[in-house]
Amino acid sequence: MTVLLYRRGYECGYFPRGGEAARLRRTDPLNCGDATPISAREDVPTGKPDHLAYLMTGGAYPGDRGVSLVTHTPWRSGLSDPGPLITCALPRSAASICAAALTYRLDELMRPRGVTQQALDRAARQIARYVDEHLP
């Protein structure tokens, strides 16, 4: 399991159409790189417009294998929370461990911000299905 604590240009790379990416492009363009190529993206609805999540294959760096959960939540400093991306590259036989880790991370970030239990339960089912379909 790998948790990315922060990556320069995260907002621009993973959420290039978001408000924070637009602000960074205006105010700090050197901290705003190109959009990151995303493979097999599947949005995870949270029920809160500024609380974003999606699943993708691969990870934060070229050559990463496995599946990842990418998140973005508003934060007082204007940047998203630390640890917004988690990648699981365990063997397919451990898919349930990957699904549990990604689900736990989503819950850990979203529950304190008011995402409902119903949305979290729906996300847990979606994550389990996605991991089962996409884990190499």
DSSP string, 49-104: TT-EEEEEES-SSTT--SEEEEEE---TTSSPPS--EEEE---GGGHHHHHHHHHH
Which of the pair, 120 or 4, is modelled with greater confidence?
Answer: 120
Work out the average pLDDT over 28-55: 89
* pLDDT tens digits, one per residue of 61-83: 778 889 999 998 876 555 556 56
